[in-house]
Structure 1
Amino acid sequence: MSAENARQTLVGRIFGGIAKRKILREGVPKGIPTDSKRKVADQRDFQQEKTILERTLRHFFESGPAGITEQPHDFFGRMTAQEWARLQYLHTDHHFRQFSA
């Protein structure tokens, strides 16, 4: 699901605000389930995925607040540019730690 057509889920409308505040304060917890729509089920080329991630992070960094979507997160709902930036950092850091990168 792209950011352009993300809609906040029912569970997100109920718990999203609480979860957003907790994650932005404490980080992404280990063992948090991945949304089934975002699970990767096929084989990927590591170098190609690494290049895509580097390009995405560079774009995010260079674009600054103006490059951050105004669309709501599909679980957390509306987010400020600062909240999106912190979430991106915490989420990326979570996966780097997960894979000892």
Structure 2
Amino acid sequence: MSGHNRRQWQRYAQEVHILWTRSLQEGDRVGIMVNFSRGGLCLVHAEPLEKGQRILLRLPQTMAGLSKDVWAQVAWCVPMANEKYALGLKYENPLLWTRYR
């Protein structure tokens, strides 16, 4: 299956600072989104998160024409060489409103 793309939606490269939190009671944290699709995004952050953990993402206006808060789950977490972590985040509901087709 070499060259087979398992992704359901096309992925777009875009580096943007994203605010996120584990709960509405906690303060926001900042990560860097490096790519996204209608189904999820990849976020780079200084701390690891556990697979399955639920977080609230505050998506920027540039993605949808309006700011939007969406819940996502950690699908994977991979350490990077710069003492940061790449987090694969899957939206709980696909983003059918995104400007990107």
Which TM-score band applies after superposition, normalised by the shorter structure? under 0.3
Higher strand share goes to which structure?
A: 2
Q: TM-score when scaled to structure 2? A: 0.23
Larger radius of gyration: 1
Higher helix share goes to which structure?
A: 1
- Larger RCO: 1 or 2 (CA < 8 Å, sep 6+): 1
